[in-house]
Amino acid sequence: MSQAGRGETRQRIRTIIVDDEPPARQWLLDLLREEESVEVVEECADGFGALEAIERLHPQLVLLDVEMPGLGGFEVVEMLGSTAPAIVFVTAFDQYAVRAFDVHAADYLLKPVDPERLREAVRRAVLRLQRETGPATEARSAALALTGRKYPEWLLVKTEGRSRFLRVREIDWIESQKNDVAIHAGTAEYVYHLSTAGIEARLDPAKFLRIHRSTIVNVERIKDLYPLFNGDYGVTLKDGTTLTMSSTYRRRLAAFRDGML
């Protein structure tokens, strides 16, 4: 890595390349090797691999093909929801351009990719990432919430060393587990590599309620609420699971009070 110039920031952008065609991935990789601001941390041949890599490596930028077997680029973005990194679509088809910008893509490149056009896309993505840090990122997330953004219907979770897709509506409740969360769905428990706050941001607040700093619950699974000591509430789920709602989070009940209490 070259030395940072005076007043410049040389933190490299962690990047993943996703394309089902090996020559296309190699072409992008060769071009990006000339970009000092970019570090390619993974190459993926399909959307399923992309989701797993994004969850594991937390890249800031993804170069994403649109049409791939099994799971296409737009499906990947939909599943990532508001936690998606900066996306640059790279495709042989021009008819998806409008849809790409509807999902807030940083850029849209047509194959065969022109080297200068790729450099421009990377610069644009880097500038966006520099703007969207700290309070700016929080403001963007709030803006997306107000514009009726879609929340993912599926999550890629892990169990017994394997990955599987879990429908969000099947989730009963979620608890913190060190640096990850444990998702409870029926009799199954899955590990998800995100913090409690991180997964809360991905879930529809009209369906999932944070009841404790370490607990989120699917409101459709709540059977009873009853007062405890010091302003806390007991929460019983339909399967008999008993949880505690901290007094700190009682205000979040306001949105559900008319239908539940």
Convert the chain into a string of H (helix), E (strand) and C (coil). CCCCCCCCCCCCEEEEEECCCHHHHHHHHHHHCCCCCEEEEEEECCHHHHHHHHHHHCCCEEEECCCCCCCCHHHHHHHHHHHCCEEEEEECCCCCHHHHHHCCCCEEEECCCCHHHHHHHHHHHHHHHHHCCCHHHHHHHHHHHHCCCCCCCEEEEEECCEEEEEEHHHCCEEEEECCEEEEEECCEEEEECCCHHHHHHHCCCCCEEEEECCEEEEHHHEEEEEECCCCCEEEEECCCCEEEECHHHHHHHHHCHHHHC
pLDDT at 150: 64
Across all residues in the chain, what is the average pLDDT? 83
Task: Lowest mean pLDDT of 50-59, 104-113, 157-166, 215-224, name the range.
Answer: 157-166
Task: Lowest mean pLDDT of 83-97, 160-174, 241-255, name the range.
Answer: 241-255
pLDDT beyond 80 at 139: no
pLDDT at 55: 81
pLDDT at 4: 42
pLDDT at 144: 44
> Tokens standing for 172?
């009963």
pLDDT at 64: 96
Domains contained in the chain, CATH given = 13-145 (3.40.50.2300), 154-260 (2.40.50.1020)
Overall average pLDDT of the 80-99 stretch: 88
Q: State the pLDDT confidence band at 5, using cuts at 50, 70 and 90.
A: very low
Overall average pLDDT of the 85-108 stretch: 91
Overall average pLDDT of the 70-84 stretch: 83
Contact indicator for 23, 43 with CB cutoff of 8 Å: no
pLDDT beyond 50 at 261: no
Phi, psi (degrees; rounded to nearest 5) at 185: -140, 105
> Tokens standing for 35?
């970009």
Q: State the pLDDT confidence band at 235, using cuts at 50, 70 and 90.
A: very high
Distance from first CA to last CA of the chain, Å, rounded? Answer: 59
Other beta carbons less than 10 A from residue 141's beta carbon: 15
